[in-house]
A and B are shown apart, each in its own frame.
Chain A
Amino acid sequence: MTSSSSSSGRRVAALASLALALSATGCGGASRTAIPDATGAAPPPTRLRVALYPPQNASGRPARVKELEQGLELALRARGVEVVAGDAVRRALAARRIRYTGGLDRESAAAVRDGLGVEAVFIPTVLLDDPAYPPRLAVDGRLVSAADPPAILWEDGVARGGADYPGWFSQGIVSSIGALQGQVLSDLAGSLSEWLDGKGAPRPGCDAIRPRIAYRSRKLDVAGLRTVAVLPFVNQTTRRNAGEAFELQVLRELVATGQFKVVEPGNVRERMLAGRIIVEGGASLDAARVMGEALGADVLLAGFVRDFQDPPAQSGPPQVELGVQAIDGRTGDVLWWSSSRSRGDDGVFFWGIGRVSTAAELACGVSRGIAGRMAGDRPAPAPSGPPSGARSAPADDSRAAGGVGTP
Chain B
Amino acid sequence: MSQSPIVEMKDISISFPGVKALDGVDFRLFPGEVHTLMGENGAGKSTLIKALTGVYRIDEGVISVDGDVVQFQGTADAQEAGVSTVYQEVNLCSNLSIGENVMLGHEVRGRFGVNWKATHEAATKTLRKLGLGHLDPRASLASISLAMQQLVAISRAMVTQARVLILDEPTSSLDSNEVEQLFSVMRQLRDEGVAILFVSHFLEQVYAISDRLTVLRNGQFVGEYATGELDQASLIGKMIGKEITALRSLDSQSAARGHRQDAETVYLARGLGRKGSIEPFDIELKRGEVVGLAGLLGSGRTELARLIYGADRPDSGDVEIHGHKVAVHTPAAGLRRRIAFSSENRRDEGIIRDLTVRENLVLGVQAKRGWARPLPRKQVDEIVDKYMVELGVRPSDPNRAMRNLSGGNQQKALLGRWLATKPDILILDEPTRGIDVGAKAEIQEQVLQLAAEGVAVIFISSELEEVVRLSDRIIVLKDHRMIAEVTNGPEVSAETIVKIIADHSTEQNAPVARAHKTKEVAL
Is chain B found bound to chain A in the same assembly? no
